[in-house]
Structure 1
Amino acid sequence: MGINVDTGDLKVFLRTVSIKGKMFMDSLVNGYNKMLQLNPADAKGIYMDVGTKLRDKGDYEGAIRSFKKVLDVDTVNAEALYEIGRTYLKVGLPNEAIESLGRATNLDRSSALSLFYLGSAYFMVDDNPKAQWALLEAIKLDPTYAEAYYKLGLVYDNMSDYDNAIESYKKAVSIKPNLIKAYQSIGLAYEAKGQREEAVKYFKMALQNEEKAV
Structure 2
Amino acid sequence: MEFGLPEDNNKISLTRFESMLKTNSVLFFDSNEFENIIHHYLESGKIALAKKAVKLGLEQHPSSINLKLFQTELYVMENKFDEADMLLNELHILEPSNEEIYIQKANVLSKQDMHEKAVNTLLIALDLAQEDEGIGDLYALIGMEYLFLDQFDNARTYFKKCLDIDKEDYSALYNIIYCYDFLDENEDAITFLNAYIDKNPYCEVAWHQLGRQYYTVKDFDKALTAFDFAIISDDSFVGAYLEKGKVLEKKKRFHEAIDNYKITLALDEPTSFALLRIGYCYEKLGEDDLAVQYFYKTVHEDPLLDKGWIAITKFYNKKHNYQKALFYINKAINIDAENVIYWKLYAQINLRLNFLEEAERGFKKTLDLGNYELQTWLSRSDVLIALGEYEASIHNLIQAVEFYPETAEIEFRLAGLHFTLHETNKGQYHLKNALILNHEYEFIIEELFPNVLKKPSVQQMISQARK
Partner of 2:268: 176
The one-letter amino acid paired with 1:30 is L
CA contact (8 A) 2:207 2:227 kept: yes
Q: Which residue of 2 aligns with 1:200?
A: 292
* Distance (Å, rounded) in 2 between the aligned partners of 1:137 and 1:74: 21
Q: Is 1:165 the counterpart of 2:249 in the alignment?
A: no
More divergent stretch after superposition (188-197 vs 6-15): 6-15
Q: Which amino acid is 1:201 matched to? A: Q
Judged with a 3 Å threshold, the aligned counterparts in structure 2 of structure 1 residues 97 and 6 are, in CA distance, closer, same or farther, namely same
Matches within 5 A, 1:50-199: 50-52=142-144, 55=147, 59=148, 61-62=150-151, 64-69=153-158, 71=160, 78=167, 79=169, 80=172, 83-89=175-181, 93-199=185-291
Give the structure 1 partner of residue 74 of structure 2.
Answer: none
What is the RMSD of the two structures over their aligned residues, measured on CA atoms? Answer: 3.3
Q: Give the match for residue 120 of structure 2.
A: 27
**Which letter maps to 2:150?**
E
* Aligned 8 A contact 1:82 1:101 in 2: no
CA distance, structure 1, for counterparts of residue 153 and residue 116 of structure 2: 13
Q: Does the C-alpha gap of structure 1 residues 73 and 128 become closer, same or farther in structure 2, counting only changes over 3 Å?
A: closer
Determine if contact 2:211/2:223 at 8 Å carries over to the other structure.
yes
| Deviation for aligned residue 1:108 | 1.5
The residue identity in structure 2 corresponding to 1:33 is: L
Which piece of structure 1 moves more, 93-102 or 164-173? 93-102
Q: State how far apart, in whole Å, the 2-side matches of 1:179 and 1:200 are.
A: 16
Question: Within 2, Cα distance between the matches of 1:73 and 1:147?
Answer: 24
1:16-53 Cα distance to aligned partner (Å, 9 max, x none): 4633554235522332234x254386544311233246
Q: Whole-Å Cα distance in 2 between the matches of residues 95 and 131 of structure 1?
A: 13
Q: Kindly name which structure, 1 or 2, has the bigger radius of gyration based on alpha carbons.
A: 2
- Alignment check: 8 A CA contact 2:119 2:146 kept: no
What TM-score comes out, normalization by structure 1 length? 0.78
**Distance 1:132-1:47 versus aligned 2 partners, 3 A rule:** same
* SS, match of residue 211 in structure 1: coil
Give TM-score, length-normalised by structure 2: 0.39
Q: Deviations over 1:111-147 (max 9, x none)?
A: 2112111111111111111111111111122222112
d(CA) in 2 for partners of 1:106 and 1:172? 28
Give yes or no for the alignment of 1:46 onto 2:138: yes
Take 1:26 and 1:132, find their aligned partners in 2: how far apart are those partners? 40
Q: Do the aligned partners of 1:47 and 1:66 also contact (CA within 8 Å) in 2?
A: no
| CA positional deviation for 1:71 | 4.4
* 1:126 counterpart SS class: coil
Give the deviation of 1:60 after TM superposition. Answer: 7.3
Farther-moved stretch of structure 1 (39-48 vs 185-194): 39-48
CA spacing shift, 1:60–1:143, aligned 2, 3 Å: farther
Q: Which runs of 5+ in 2 are unaligned?
A: 1-96, 306-334, 336-467
CA 104–77 in structure 1, closer or farther in 2 if over 3 Å, else same:
farther
**Per-residue deviation at 1:8?**
4.2
Q: Could you tell me which amino acid in structure 2 is paired with residue 127 of structure 1? A: D
- Residue aligning to 2:417: none
Amino acid at match of 2:116: M
Aligned in 2, Cα 1:146/1:33: closer, same or farther, shift over 3 Å? closer
AA aligned opposite 2:180: Y
Match of 1:15 in 2: 107
- Whether contact under 8 Å (1:123, 1:155) holds in the other structure is yes
For residue 102 of structure 1, report the CA deviation from its aligned partner.
2.4
Contact preservation (8 Å) 1:85, 1:98: no
Does the C-alpha gap of structure 1 residues 137 and 205 become closer, same or farther in structure 2, counting only changes over 3 Å? same
CA distance in 2, matches of 1:163, 1:93: 33
How many residues get paired?
206
Q: Which has the higher contact order (CA 8 A, sep 6+)?
A: 1
CA contact (8 A) 1:101 1:118 kept: yes
